[in-house]
Structures are given as C-alpha cells and as structure tokens.
Copies of this chain bind each other. A is one copy, B any other.
C-alpha cells in the first residue's frame, strides 16, 4: 500500500501517522521524501487495513493499494488451478469442461427425473434444481423447499448425477446435509453470515456473482468462504446489471479471463440468467468456452411454457442436447476436455 501525504505534513505528524499504522495493523512502514511528495510505503499483511479510516486521517492525500485484498483465493499464493471434486468421477476445473443442467425449480418427481435422465444423456454431469427460490415478489412461487430437495435426491439416485441446489439461509443447512454442491444465489453474494456458515461446511460451494458486484467484491465473497475454512469454491458469472434492456443482464465475458488470471478457483457461466432469452443461450455458451470458462450451468425444462418459474429463459432437453453437441466440438479447441 502506497500512501501519499499532503505536502505540508510536519515530521511529527508523519511520525504519529506511521506509528499508528504499525500499532493498529501488523505492518511495517517506510517513508520516502521526494522533492514534491511524502510517500509512505506499507509492507506486510495490508488486507486488514480499513481504507476508510486511513483516508479519514487529515494528513492523507491519496492511497494506492498495490496488493489484492484477497489471499486464499489469490493465484499468487496458489499458482495451480484448484480442482473441485464432486463425488466420484466428476470434477470442476483443472482442464475439464463441466455441464450443469436442470430446471429452475424442482416441480415433481416425474419432471426432475425426466430432465435428469435427458441432460445426463446429453453430457451433463451435475444436476441443478431449485428447492428454495429467491423471488422478487412474496406472492410468486417460492419453491417446494425440503420436499424439492427430496425429489432431487431421488433423481440423483436414479441417474447417479451429483446435485446442486440453492440455499437461502444458514438455518436451511441441515436440509442440505447430503446435497453435493450448495449454491449461493446472486442476491446473497454478500450475505456474509451465510458465507461464514458455508465456510464451515465440507462440501463445494457454487457462488454466483451479484448483479452489481465488481469482480473484486466477487472474489472477496469467495475469500469469506475460504477464510472460514472451506476452499472448495466454484465461481459463477451470470451477468451484471447495466442500462441495456434487450437482455435480462449483461454477461460480463471479460470477467472469465480476469478471474482465471488472478484466482485459482474454477469459474462457470450461467447463460440462462445472463440472457433471459432461450435462443441467446447457445452463442453465449460458445463465447464462455472461448473466453476460458470451466463449465456452463444451463436451465433446462421439459415444458418451458408450463414451468413454475422462469420458463421464458429455459430451454428444452432437445435444445440442450444440441448445445451439448456444440460444446463437445468446441471445448477441445480451447484446451478443455469434455468427456
């Protein structure tokens, strides 16, 4: 961290400022006197420094952070890709390409089992399905909860596919006991109490980027989980909120190569939520692979017109199969193995 002090700062103020930094945080401070500037270099673990409080010091002109605020998810301290193992034979990251598919909401046994069988045939190796649904309206269908998870387990038993489902509160954790991957939705990306709880779980967490979260904030939320003890985090880019209205959200394709560079965690893309339009899912999926994503999470419904939620962005199993075929052709061109 480089702190530039105001030119008229007195030696006593510099001394007091430096001492305070060393006392409040575990850092070492060195002062350089330029002809026109007084620059304070701060070394050591600067991640805990409260920028806001440093800025509040009357002697400070500007602060430049030269170290990322995340540590455990930082590639600098973990150069190799993290590979997340999901049950036997399924892994996310590390050169493989993973298809996650399933309905927005689990509706009944027939629906979820049918979809599961279809997407497995097409090449998906993880089944998604919502049991607890975060809906903007309290009057909208909220998901079948525990019962929905039970139906997911049945579908897993039948197909062998590991399952991923969204958790909305720490109190639901017992219900997720044997859910293979626990998903944190975009709206809960900065629900820090939930993140801390999930840091104590020994299963992988799929963390979705918040609608208005910067890439750095996204990584800091992953850091919360890792700092609490769980380093099995799969990131998921699903579009950010912008002024454009022709898509539901704006897929931030640049986030993929950036995250691959600065972090060792795998990242998958959810084109269904990013686009909100079925025919856009294929081109966005292709772009995601080309940009370096480790996988895709796609909403598939056997009967979108009768889906209990988000039918408008779901694709049919046949459409999904066509996309999966393209994935099979394209993934190797971008260095990914798709079994």
Contacts and interface: CB of A to CB of B under 8 A. Distances in A.
Interface residues of A, number: 108
Interface stretch (A78-86, A109-117, A153-161, A249-257): A249-257
A258 B250 contact: no
B138 A56 contact: no
Interface in A218-255: 220, 223-224, 227-228, 240-247, 250-255
Contacts of A216: 246
A290 B289 contact: yes
A298 interface: no
Interface in A170-229: 170-172, 187-188, 190-194, 196, 210-212, 214-217, 220, 223-224, 227-228
Nearest to A37: B41
Contacts of A171: 170-171, 193
State the majority secondary structure of interface residues on A: mixed
Contact of A193 (B168, B283, B286): B168
Interface of A: 2, 4, 28, 30-37, 39, 41, 43, 47-48, 50-53, 55-58, 61-62, 64, 66, 69, 134-141, 168-172, 187-188, 190-194, 196, 210-212, 214-217, 220, 223-224, 227-228, 240-247, 250-258, 261, 274-275, 279-280, 283-284, 286-292, 304-314, 329-330, 333-334
5 contacts: A48-B137, A53-B305, A171-B193, A212-B243, A254-B275
